Chain A
């Protein structure tokens, strides 16, 4: 399905290189770096033209020319031999760039080959190559380079080779892990299956995908090589016949620039090194951001402030809960947007529902219909880009939408807790499960006697069927099902009134899913919990729920009690969903799936959001969005069919 989705994206009629350039040119950091590099490369190429003075011959230099401060003739002053620092500065760029590029070329060639071969062939070859790499990784580079250059003749070629031959280790590691990641992709496997040779696969399938990472790494390797060269030259191990920035500094530092106060002779060459290395660093950073974009957003970033937009549609009040149980949670006209630099995605629009004591409501719909967004808004856990743009969430006399972050923190877990998908990462891997349960109790019941904390944790674990001796285990020592149970135990730690279960059985195998669901159902009856259950499994809904809210494209499609939803669904979407769901009592029923996908939230259709896929679509549906319509007894539907009839 993921593959199909990719293919559905509109293709942009331009080459990958053009695409890359478009994104890159917007990256300020990378652009500045590129500019800095172009300047220095120009200096290096045109050095003989640009340098105002000859740096090789000392003809015409007198004793009074030594360490002259910057002036009209010598822009950067003169050095210990009376030579022009500016000219030396220009020529120095040549050595830096030559050593940097050639040494890096050697390193990249070795490291790249090692990495690809190790990653691609695996097994013994990989083991051997990576051990070999580890060996060189721990040996300190620069001391070894110094030793080797000190023992051999310090000429440019030797320096390039020594730096190049010792600088490949990080490249090998990075390329290997990228190769490993790429190797198992579909088209590589396909190429293998149709009998393509290893060489062909490496050259045509692996290398292009490893290339971006290799380029970013190459830039780092170049800058390290340039730094190594300048350090060697500064230590007096540079090529004596080539003027380099490190060597200029060696001369100035060793020959009295410090005591002569000749800051220009000390400053200019170093400035050159910083210019090149900083240029490369910025370029590398920029390239990385473009080639490997990260969403730099995290859970501690405050989400956007809530507000009340003015146009509030009043939706009809839903029916009372079963047996007239008191109202716990009243969600009114909630709308949620995701906002980024360019556009606003209306993830949820004008959804209302009510939850009574002991009630279990199912939030149903395909992925991307706004179910999780809705429950995250109730607990005010929306990501940084999310904002509540309208509506209220009333819980025990307070409007949660209006609470400050601190007030909200008190409501969380003690009032409303969440069962996340515990199977994967919802538990902290470096802390024991018991510890993570205790923490919640300590936070919300500070008066809880510390000596009975352990007893309470054991009691909670027992409640979900985990033996007491697993209390001090780490999450990775649990099976997937146990982790989900632990997550449930944690959610119950502070006796919450409302529990939100956000697809708690995803990623578990079918047997375990059934156990977890049974456990949840049992617990909520035992403890009288009110539960919001997010799922796309209609079977679960039928078995457990009291009421159902069917969402489509961020809006309410249908909201009613469970019997009505199953026996008399009015919205075509609900009807279609039910057709896709097997029914044991009607084994002859033919299962059909709904063609197409839910709408993209930043490109919603103008009319009814389900119109493009609706079997009963007519003209009005494509123009006008249907309002929420109460078809009697709290059965709410948003469909034009209702209004026509």
Chain B
């Protein structure tokens, strides 16, 4: 199978997954009892006219989709209506224009709210992932190389403990410790320093991001270490490592040129699979450290029952994870020349 067919196959699968998420997201917020609009509508203080106005504003006066008038309660409808006049089509059209609805809480477009928070999350996740991958891999390499020694056993225990820590609790404990040691107790910047020199602002942000990143790193490095260790152990037991040793290569050369590229392969997969957990971590860490990111937005939306923001944030996260998975797949196929010919 050539490279293009492989690419097309992977991309079309991702597109299908995104479509699935879009449909899931659409019906989820209409099927479940706490449905978005009804939460707003079921306020006894509202008049009939006001309710009707809200229904029109959120497009709820239209049928859900062809053949389906409403989903809660289920009511079948006309199949011959113009498909462009259904809630589902309007949902898709709005999405394609980047519209995710209006926040119940702040009355601002959800896209704007999420847009300004997205970068903060990427910054946090990026820093945390890079650090945890590097530290986890270094420990994993040493543990595998020095298998069955004190180095191996202690990194194993550290990793298992790190894995078992609930992210939010570790955050709380670190925050508790940090607040007693002069570190900021949350947020991204000390309020009112936007007039200070840029370098000072950067330093301030660094102080703020230190503990959230540390939390992230500790929680995730354990798993990377375990995966790296077991993957490298497998690779180092392979025949071609013996060949490399028989060729007179040094241990360092064997690790660098023969073992790591092979052992990295499962790490790439784990990074992709972990993206979901990464987001889960972001929700917890941003909640604890009041970090103004997507995870924090989800928490606030849950507390305020601000469904459009919740819906938008879920969609954004799900699609990002799917795309990141696709990238991981493509990286994998680039790293392992066997992948394309096997499939």
Contact = CB atoms under 8 A, between A and B. Distances in A.
Contacts of B238: 299, 425
A338 interface: no
B7 interface: no
B338 A429 contact: yes
Given A135-B20, A409-B250, A142 B276 contact: yes
A contacts with B: majority SS: helix
Q: Point out which of B237, B240, B338, B341 has the most chain A C-beta atoms below 10 A from its C-beta.
A: B240
A615 to B, nearest CB: 38
B236 interface: yes
Contacts, number: 234
Interface stretch (B28-36, B78-86, B190-198): B28-36
A599 interface: no
Interface stretch (B40-48, B53-61, B103-111, B158-166): B158-166
A331 B273 CA distance: 53
Contacts of B262: 428-430
Interface string A122-163: 000000000000110111111110111011110000000000
Contacts of A443: 247-249, 253
A227 interface: yes
A135 B17 contact: yes
A266 B275 contact: no
Interface stretch (B62-70, B115-123, B167-175, B208-216): B167-175
A300 B169 contact: no
B233 interface: yes
Nearest to A280: B164
A223 B164 contact: yes
A476 interface: yes
Interface stretch (A57-65, A410-418, A634-642): A410-418
Interface stretch (B93-101, B127-135, B199-207, B318-326): B318-326
B168 A300 contact: no
Contacts of A97: none
B15 interface: no
A425 to B, nearest CB: 4
| Interface-centre pick from A263, A278, A297, A430 (highest chain B CB count, 10 A) | A430
A414 B248 contact: yes
A249 interface: yes
B125 interface: no
Nearest to B152: A296
B337 interface: yes
Contacts of A413: 246-248
A121 B196 CA distance: 67
B326 to A, nearest CB: 9
Contact of A273 (B169, B239, B287): B169
Interface stretch (A41-49, A99-107, A231-239, A315-323): A231-239
Given A263-B176, A270-B173, A300-B145, A139 B21 contact: yes
B297 to A, nearest CB: 11
A152 B233 CA distance: 46
B233 A440 contact: no
B240 A426 contact: yes
A55 to B, nearest CB: 20
Interface string B1-36: 000000000000100010011001000110011110
Interface in A236-251: 236-237, 246, 249
A150 B246 contact: no
Contacts of A246: 166
Q: Interface centre among A138, A236, A427, by most B CB within 10 Å? A: A138
Nearest to B281: A142
Interface string B303-343: 10101001101100110011001000000000111100100
Contacts of A142: 276-277, 279-280, 283
Contacts of A412: 245-248
B166 A427 contact: no
Given A143-B317, A151-B34, A425-B238, A227 B166 contact: yes
Interface string B236-263: 1111111111111111011101110110
B302 interface: yes
A381 B17 CA distance: 50
B147 to A, nearest CB: 5
A575 interface: no
A312 interface: no
Interface string B172-190: 1101100100000100000
A427 B246 contact: no
Q: Which of A135, A141, A237, A379 has the most CB of B within 10 A?
A: A135
A286 B30 CA distance: 45
A235 B237 CA distance: 45
A237 B299 CA distance: 10
A573 B246 CA distance: 32
A300 B335 contact: no
A420 interface: yes
Given A146-B283, A277-B166, A381 B249 contact: no
A140 B320 CA distance: 10
B284 interface: yes
Contact of B303 (A143, A236, A282, A477): A236
A470 interface: no
A139 B20 CA distance: 10
B236 A299 contact: yes
A285 B159 CA distance: 12
Contacts of A237: 302
A501 to B, nearest CB: 12
6 contacts: A139-B21, A258-B179, A300-B245, A300-B255, A413-B246, A429-B240
Interface of A: 134-135, 137-144, 146-148, 150-153, 223, 227, 230-231, 234-237, 246, 249, 253, 258, 263, 266-267, 269-270, 273-274, 277-278, 281-282, 285, 294-301, 379, 381, 406, 409-414, 417-418, 420-421, 424-431, 439-440, 443-444, 474, 476-477, 490
